[in-house]
């Protein structure tokens, strides 16, 4: 039974020259030696008072006893084991399972209720929520605080806050209660009540270490150790073996210190999210401003990408009527000095033979009158080859296109546009197989062209198209194409191809009078511009998201600084570094997810409003999900540094902060 619970061997503690602020006035402050060789044995079940004048080193000693701080030299044995070998998690375990702290300044978390404050140590010990709640309530009721479970610390008197702190110290068993001037800030009556409680705890078998400057208070303990200038000058008890064992020895042993029982990750996250929400809510205005940054970022990503791809699509739609790889060749109008010569079929063959030309379609056109029964309709008449459908991307929606055989036998067949069909077949007759007169020549309708709508200010559907040979022989009396449609293979080479066409035809015709309308190059340039525009809008939006992220980081850094003491309190009650990291990361991610959600909603509203205003927009679900994901990622990335700063805080330093 000789093994002390805690044994200190020649413990020394000095604050390095870095802490020169405590020795202002001195030119070169020597390292202040605060504890100068403390050797001490404390046994389970003892009620010890450590008494000394202010500045004698009592609090420093308590921080070392409670593993909130490490000594500069000397050995600290906890149940015979040297604490120097413990890592941060094992020390957190010790604070969580073995110690319960009661401070002069209470050190409650201001945003949490009395009951929630009491629950904190159990939270880090992984006790299930329901059990935690029952135990915290029972402890507070035992300390006559049952009526104030949901009060926040600022709604409680000093004596009440100290009772909450005592309940918190007992939450995980409180084998060793470390009380640093617990009555220091209290009126005499509340102080007496707190002392009575400590006495009762000592009676119940808890080891109580009371630190005080007041000899009368110290006198209530069963062993009094006096300390002066960092040295023990008197000890009333000496090495007395313990009589009673602690009633609530924790089941876990130090062996599994680093993997102490843990609640499930989901429960942990739930708890972290709840606490984070509480903090966000208590800083509504600031959180709202931060959120605004994220909301604007996400909403602008969604809206700008929608507008960008909307205009891109509109540009493409303008050209897609006749295929994006199609250009047109026509002869220049002749003048008095340079009489123009029309295109010929030989020109068509020349063009067909050029590199990068995939297909050609000569088109001969003039105004015609189409008649069915007693209805006359003026339309564009055209003659072309079977290449037409391919080159212009223009097929039939009903019936058939005329074919090579029709071309060979100069067949009197026609395909009609939608407008012509409406004009002549208003009675609902199926046009396929019907006869019409084109400029008084009978043709049989074999197909109806797909609708193209209006392009270049002309109704493209107001036309009849017949085989080139038939148009030449039976309608127009010549075979000079009005224009040639050329489909190129590679859009990038369009300019070269256009030049080659002009050069080759000039060589053949001995006069440079053929013009190529190179819309392919225009399309390529325009769509590249539209794409660049979309990218630029996206970039601007992404930048605003990054700016929002920096706002999050700023607020998180501020939060961590403001709540340094809270971090210290949580560490003193046994939080691991990962617990702190997780808590602050959760806060950052919660802010950004809420911001992301609102941002997506605002973005959708903007897109909807633009749609109503007839602005071409293309809504992208992927962009929305991406923007939301980026927002959350922003929280993770920009929240990490502040959260890690918080997790790396030294418990004593954090506790000492204001």
Q: Which residues bind Mg ion (CB under 5 A)?
A: 59
- Residue with smaller CB distance to ligand ADP, 55 or 241: 55
Pick the binder of ligand ADP from 5, 43, 45, 52 (CB under 6 A): 52
Stretch of 58-66, 95-103, 110-118, 423-431 lying at the interface with ligand ADP (CB under 6 A): 58-66
* Least separation in angstroms between CB 102 and Mg ion: 13
Could you say which of 40, 56, 494, 585 contacts ligand ADP (CB under 6 A)? 56
- What is the spatial distance between Cα 480 and Cα 347, in angstroms, rounded to a whole number? 10
Q: Which helix (H) or strand (E) holds 49?
A: strand 47-51
Q: Is 15 in the site for ligand ADP (CB under 6 A)?
A: yes
Minimum distance, C-beta of residue 59 to Mg ion, in the bound complex (Å):
3
- Cβ pair 330, 344 in contact under 8 A: no
Tracing tokens 């149940």 back to the chain, one arrives at 79
Binding residues for ligand ADP, rule CB under 6 A, total 13
Query: Rounded to the nearest whole angstrom, what is the least distance from the CB of residue 572 to Mg ion in the complex?
Result: 15
Question: What's the rounded Cα separation, in Å, for the pair 297 and 630?
Answer: 10
- Pairing status of strand 435-438 against strand 413-416: unpaired
Q: Which class for 366: exposed (0-12), middle (13-18), buried (19 or more C-beta within 10 A)?
A: middle
- Interface segment toward ligand ADP; rule CB under 6 A; list 39-47, 54-62, 299-307, 567-575: 54-62
Residue 57 interaction partner, one of Mg ion, ligand ADP, none, beta carbon < 5-8 Å per kind: ligand ADP
Return the number of the residue (59 or 419) whose C-beta is nearest ligand ADP. Answer: 59
Contact pick of 59, 111, 300, 592 for ligand ADP (by CB under 6 A): 59
Question: Each residue of 569-579: b (16+ CB within 10 Å) or e?
Answer: bbbbbbbbbeb
Asked whether the beta carbons of 359 and 390 are under 8 A apart, the reply is yes
Stretch that binds ligand ADP, among 48-56, 77-85, 339-347, 443-451 (CB under 6 A): 48-56
Q: In this complex, which beta carbon is closest to ligand ADP, that of residue 8 or of residue 280?
A: 8
- Using CA atoms, how far apart are residues 235 and 228, in angstroms rounded to an integer? 12
The residues near 71 (Cβ < 8 Å, ≥ 6 apart) are: 11, 12, 13, 35, 64
Binds 288, which of Mg ion, ligand ADP, none (CB < 5 to 8 A, cut-off by type)?
none
Minimum distance, C-beta of residue 103 to Mg ion, in the bound complex (Å): 10
Element (H, E) at 594: helix 577-612
Q: In this chain, which stretch among 51-59, 234-242, 261-269, 276-284 interacts with ligand ADP, using CB under 6 A?
A: 51-59
Q: Which is nearer to ligand ADP, 15 or 483 (CB)?
A: 15
Give the integer Cα–Cα distance in Å for 544 and 549.
Answer: 9
Which of 38, 43, 44, 57 is the binder for ligand ADP (CB under 6 A)?
57
Cβ-based nearer residue to Mg ion, 68 or 600: 68
Interatomic CA distance for residues 348 and 350, integer angstroms: 5
Q: In this structure, how many other beta carbons lie within 10 angstroms of the beta carbon of residue 297? A: 29
Q: Tell me phi and psi for residue 52, to 5 degrees.
A: 180, 165
Binding mask 410-429 for ligand ADP (x = CB under 6 A): --------------------
Contact by Cβ (8 Å): 129, 79:
no
Which of 43, 44, 48, 58 is close enough to bind ligand ADP by CB under 6 A?
58
Nearer to Mg ion, 59 or 385 (CB): 59
The smaller minimum CB distance to ligand ADP, of residues 523 and 569, is found at 569
Q: What is the torsion angle, in degrees rounded to the nearest 10, for the CA atoms of residue 283, residue 286, residue 289 and residue 294? A: -70
* CB contact at 8 A, 361 and 322: no
Q: How far is the CB of 182 from ligand ADP (least distance, A)?
A: 13
Instruction: Spell out the SS3 assignment of 313-334.
Output: HHHHHHHHCCCCCEEEEEECCC
Q: Which of 8, 34, 501, 571 binds ligand ADP (CB under 6 A)?
A: 34
Q: C-beta of 180: minimal distance to Mg ion in Å?
A: 6
Residues 538 and 20: their CA atoms lie apart, in Å, by 52
Q: State the residues that interact with ligand ADP by CB under 6 A.
A: 15, 19, 22, 32, 34, 52, 54-60
């Amino acid at each position: 039974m000789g093994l002390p619970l805690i044994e200190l061997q020649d413990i020394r503690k000095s604050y390095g020259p870095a802490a020169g602020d405590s020795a202002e006035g001195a030119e070169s402050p020597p390292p202040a030696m605060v504890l100068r060789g403390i050797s001490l044995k404390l046994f389970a079940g003892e009620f010890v008072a450590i008494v000394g004048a202010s500045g004698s080193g009592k609090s420093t000693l308590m921080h070392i006893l409670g593993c909130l701080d490490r000594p500069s030299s000397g050995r600290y044995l906890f149940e015979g084991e040297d604490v120097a070998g413990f890592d941060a998690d094992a020390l957190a375990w010790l604070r969580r399972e073995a110690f319960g702290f009661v401070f002069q300044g209470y050190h409650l978390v201001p945003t949490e209720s009395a009951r929630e404050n009491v629950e904190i140590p159990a939270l880090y010990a992984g006790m299930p929520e329901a059990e935690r709640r029952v135990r915290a309530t029972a402890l507070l009721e035992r300390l006559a605080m049952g009526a104030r479970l949901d009060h926040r610390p600022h709604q409680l008197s000093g004596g009440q806050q100290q009772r909450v702190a005592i309940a918190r110290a007992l939450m995980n068993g409180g084998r060793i209660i470390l009380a640093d001037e617990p009555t220091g800030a209290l009126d005499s009556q509340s102080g007496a009540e707190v002392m009575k409680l400590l006495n009762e705890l000592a009676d119940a078998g808890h080891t109580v270490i009371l630190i005080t400057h007041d000899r009368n208070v110290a006198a209530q303990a069963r062993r009094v150790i006096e300390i002066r200038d960092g040295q023990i000058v008197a000890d009333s008890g000496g090495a007395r073996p313990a009589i009673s064992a602690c009633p609530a020895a924790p089941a876990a042993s130090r062996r599994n210190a680093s993997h102490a029982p843990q609640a499930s990750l989901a429960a942990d996250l739930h708890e972290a999210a709840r606490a984070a929400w509480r903090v966000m809510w208590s800083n509504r205005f600031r959180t709202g401003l931060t959120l605004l940054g994220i909301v604007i970022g996400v909403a602008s990503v969604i809206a700008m990408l929608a507008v960008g791809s909307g205009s891109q699509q509109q540009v493409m739609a303008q050209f897609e009527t006749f295929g994006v790889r199609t250009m047109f060749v026509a002869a220049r109008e002749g003048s008095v000095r340079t009489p123009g010569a029309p295109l010929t079929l030989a020109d068509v063959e020349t063009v067909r033979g050029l590199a990068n030309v995939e297909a050609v379609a000569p088109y001969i056109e003039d105004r015609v009158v189409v008649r069915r029964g007693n209805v006359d309709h003026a339309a564009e008449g055209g003659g072309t080859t079977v290449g037409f459908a391919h080159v212009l991307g223009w097929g039939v929606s009903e019936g058939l296109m005329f074919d090579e055989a029709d071309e060979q036998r100069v067949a009197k067949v026609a395909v009609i546009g939608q407008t012509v069909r409406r004009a002549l077949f208003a009675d609902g007759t199926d046009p396929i197989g019907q006869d019409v007169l084109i400029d008084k020549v009978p043709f049989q309708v074999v197909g109806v062209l797909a609708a193209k709508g209006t392009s270049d200010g002309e109704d493209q559907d107001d036309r009849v198209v017949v085989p080139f040979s038939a148009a030449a022989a039976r309608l127009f009396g010549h075979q000079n194409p009005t224009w040639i449609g050329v489909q190129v293979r590679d859009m990038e080479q369009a300019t070269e191809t256009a030049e080659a066409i002009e050069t080759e035809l000039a060589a053949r015709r001995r006069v440079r009078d053929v013009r190529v309308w190179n819309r392919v190059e225009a399309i390529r340039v325009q769509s590249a511009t539209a794409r660049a525009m979309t990218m630029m809008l996206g970039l601007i939006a992404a930048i605003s998201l990054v700016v929002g992220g920096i706002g999050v980081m700023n607020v998180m850094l501020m939060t961590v600084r403001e709540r340094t003491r809270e971090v210290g309190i949580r560490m003193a009650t046994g939080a691991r570094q990962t617990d702190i990291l997780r808590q602050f990361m959760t806060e950052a991610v919660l802010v950004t997810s809420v911001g992301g959600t609102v941002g997506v909603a605002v973005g959708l509203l903007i897109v909807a409003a633009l749609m109503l205003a007839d602005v071409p927009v293309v809504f992208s679900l992927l962009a929305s999900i991406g923007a939301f994901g980026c927002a959350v990622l922003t929280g993770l990335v920009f929240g990490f540094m502040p959260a890690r700063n918080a997790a790396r805080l030294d418990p004593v330093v954090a506790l000492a902060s204001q």
